[in-house]
Amino acid sequence: MQTLEIQRVHKSFGSLKVLENINLTIEKGKFAAIVGPSGCGKSTLLRMVAGLETPDEGTVQADGKVIKQPSPERMMIFQEHALYPWLTVGENVEMGLELAGVSKEERRKRAQEVLKTVGLDGFYNYYPSQLSGGMRQRVSIARALVMDPDVLLLDEPYGALDAMTRLTMQNELLKLWEGSGKTMLLITHDIDEALYLADQIFVMSARPGKVVQTIDLDLPRPRSRHSQRFGELRQEIMQLLGLEE
Amino acid sequence: MAVPKMKSQTWKKVWPYAAAVGTLLLIWQVAAFFLPPYLLPGVPTVLERLAAGITEPEFLTSLKESLFRLIIGYPSACLLGGLLGLLAGLSRGFAVYLRSLIAILQSIPPITWIPFLIILFGFGNVPIITVIIIASFFPMALSVMNATEGINRTHLEVAKVLGATKGQLLRKVYLPETLPSFITGAQVAFGNAWRSLIASEMVGGASSGLGFSIKFAGEVAQMTDVLLYIVIIGMIAAFFDHVVLEWLKRRVLKWRYIEGAK
């Protein structure tokens, strides 16, 4: 399993400063979340951990090694499900294994197992266009899980889903993570989502993106969204983001 | 109960085509009432001639020659265009180069190359096949180039995260994602290939083929044969475009025609 370390990271796109002096550490096996308004560079930060972007200054490390390119150890789940429409559910899930040269029977076996854990048993031969938004996002989670990564990077995975599906998916995500030992890093602009899921929340402000507060959560799971502590923390984050006086 | 419903659905799809063909035949037949048969024979006369003509060796040779040129020229053009388009989609510099080249070639009607090519290669298949390739590679190249340039970035990134190499990106993402444009390009390219094939044969690229035959019939004022060849040339093109390429499209792009079951 991997510990993620981001040290003194700066990043600009042209003259636009996106990230300024970001420092954060996520211990292995922890569920961390980054909350912030759109444009605060949180997606850019996540893409650096995935190896899709490089910082202008500073380092992004996984277990002491500098991240230079994507690795099957760190799987990313994208905002839009980003499934390949020309592949079936099963073929989408098997894509990473196929690229790695895993045999057909082995691929199929592992894909079937993972589809079962995300509750999509029997959808192997469907095309993504035949599924609902929530089911598609489950497939994309299965596609990441089948690689058995140490780190799961989630880029606003439930942003496009309706409120009810979102709550169901959050519970499912917790079940997948608990006891797996995987390090999770979730990007979201949904404060409640972060509070419900994470051990540790980094609150970011925008233009340029900075971490303004790190909150360690001591709430036991399953958490109630209506508990007093939950409400206090929600208020604290909203104040930090300037959404509430 | 399901059978009549199926029938009515097929009919719904077919009737506009049937109506279009019917309109043309009607105009032809009405005009034939007012003109002497040696100027404009009626529909039944030509259809009778068609039934008898398609077994004549003269006609069959003509057809075979044309189809041979098409079958060599058209797929070569598709392959060349697809390859160039894919390369141009991947390299910005090459895209500008290819666009300029196509702009120049497009402003010269393909048939203009015939005298040049005949002097160079002599009469026969080579000049005609070359013209087919010049005329039909660029719709393919443009279509594929645009699709490659506009490829979904997230689709590429997903593959990179999953560990794809450069070659795997090409085979697993670029190729399937641009496949619909390959098909669209191939359909436009077919129209160009067919037109330039017949035109090349007519202007003297060779002394055989459907284009040569219709020109010959015209020179000896055989109106029935002229009309016969017009009908045949149209029918072959329609068959390729609406049956062969359409079938290919539905087969290759199966995922696009699947019904939603949300």
- Helix (H) or strand (E) run with residue A204 in it: strand A200-205
**Which of B:22-51 have CB within 8 Å of A?**
none
Test B162 with A96 for CB contact under 8 angstroms. yes
Question: Do A85 and A201 fall into the same domain?
Answer: no
Taking the C-alpha atoms of residue A143 and residue A77, their distance in angstroms, rounded to an integer, is: 9
Measuring CA to CA, which residue among A164, A94, A178 is closest to residue A134? A164
**pLDDT tens digits, one per residue of B174-227:** 989 998 899 999 999 999 999 999 999 998 767 889 999 999 999 998 899 999
Q: CB distance from B179 to chain A under 8 Å?
A: yes
**Which member of B157, B256, B261 has the closest CB to residue A130?**
B261
Asked if B131 and B69 touch (Cβ cutoff 8 Å), the reply is no
- The domain in which residue A94 lies consists of 81-148
* Closest residue of chain A to B259, computed from CA coordinates: A130
pLDDT level of residue B2 (50, 70, 90 thresholds): very low
DSSP run (H or E) holding B87: helix B57-90
For chain B, list the domains and their CATH numbers: 40-251 (1.10.3720.10)
Predicted pLDDT at B255: 80
Beta carbons of A70 and B163 less than 8 Å apart: yes
The pLDDT score that the predictor gives to residue B5 is 59
Into how many domains does chain A fold?
A: 2
Q: What is the CATH number of the domain that holds A181?
A: 3.40.50.300
Which of the 8 DSSP states describes residue A76? Answer: E
* Same structural domain, A40 and A86: no
Share the mean pLDDT of chain A.
91
pLDDT at B206: 75
Q: Is the pLDDT of residue B1 over 80?
A: no
> How far, in Å, CA of A87 to CA of B37, rounded?
59
pLDDT level of residue A58 (50, 70, 90 thresholds): very high
Nearest-CA residue of chain B relative to A100? B163
Q: Which of A148, A174, A193 is the last residue of a domain?
A: A148
**Contact state of A129 with B168 under an 8 Å Cβ cutoff:** no
* Residue A33 predicted with pLDDT over 70: yes
Residue B261's pLDDT is: 47
Average pLDDT, chain B: 89
* Statement to judge: residues A104 and A208 lie in one domain: no
State the pLDDT at residue B96: 93
Using one digit for the tens of pLDDT, what is the confidence trace for B82-109?
999 988 888 889 999 999 999 998 899 9
In this structure, how many other beta carbons lie within 10 angstroms of the beta carbon of residue B43?
Answer: 15
